[in-house]
């Protein structure tokens, strides 16, 4: 099984917090990370016709099947982690408008609520293999 690739907003304090958490929780080493401004994401977005100017979300790419945005991306990650993480992933059965609406509120306010890094933090050296060059 190929790892999920998570494209995230590098300067976002909240996004970086969750990336670091996911690195620790990913016991089966099935997640990889890179930023939304990385050349691999720019190619990925162009090939799929994603409008980069209107995106305010992390993107998760299951290399074997498809990709997900907003709340659905979160649920894809939780499912891949497995175990007890599949319990909160059950929220995916709520109406998509509700879960994506909550996601959008947090995404729209993330810099105001959590801040923005002036200089992006480096990952813990033991997790460097999880980050795409």
**Per-residue pLDDT tens over the stretch 57-94:** 889 999 888 999 999 999 999 999 988 888 887 888 89
Helix axes 96-114, 13-25, angle to 10 degrees: 110
**Per-residue pLDDT tens over the stretch 6-30:** 999 888 999 999 999 999 999 999 9
pLDDT at residue 1, rounded to an integer: 83
Q: Whose CA is closest to 81, among 131, 28, 19?
A: 28
Output the CA torsion sign for 78, 21, 33, 94: positive
pLDDT at residue 62, rounded to an integer: 93
pLDDT over 90 percentage in the chain: 59
Cβ(12)–Cβ(36) under 8 Å? Answer: no
Task: Give the separation between CA 94 and CA 1, rounded to whole angstroms.
Answer: 28
pLDDT at 53 over 90: no
Cβ(15)–Cβ(73) under 8 Å? Answer: no
Average pLDDT, the chain: 90
Q: Which secondary structure element, helix H or strand E, spans residue 81, and what is its range?
A: helix 70-81
Bigger pLDDT: 59 or 119?
A: 59
| CA-to-CA dists, residue 127 to 9, 68, 100, angstroms | 18, 24, 29
Q: Where are the domains of the chain?
A: 4-130
The model carries a pTM of: 0.89
Cβ(4)–Cβ(109) under 8 Å? Answer: no
pLDDT at 5 over 80: yes
The band of 120, judged by pLDDT with boundaries at 50, 70 and 90, is: confident
């Amino acid at each position: 099984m190929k790892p999920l690739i998570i494209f995230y907003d590098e300067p976002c304090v909240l996004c970086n917090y969750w990336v670091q958490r996911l690195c620790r929780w990913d016991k089966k080493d099935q997640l990889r990370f890179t930023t939304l401004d990385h050349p691999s994401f720019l190619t990925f977005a162009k090939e799929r016709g994603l409008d980069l100017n209107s995106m305010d979300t992390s993107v998760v790419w299951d290399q074997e099947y498809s990709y997900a945005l907003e709340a659905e991306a979160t649920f894809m990650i939780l499912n891949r982690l497995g175990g007890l993480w599949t319990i909160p992933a059950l929220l995916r059965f709520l109406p998509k408008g509700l879960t994506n609406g909550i996601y959008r509120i947090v995404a729209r306010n993330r810099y105001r609520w959590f801040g923005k890094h002036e200089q992006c933090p480096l990952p813990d050296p033991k997790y460097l293999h999880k980050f795409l060059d």
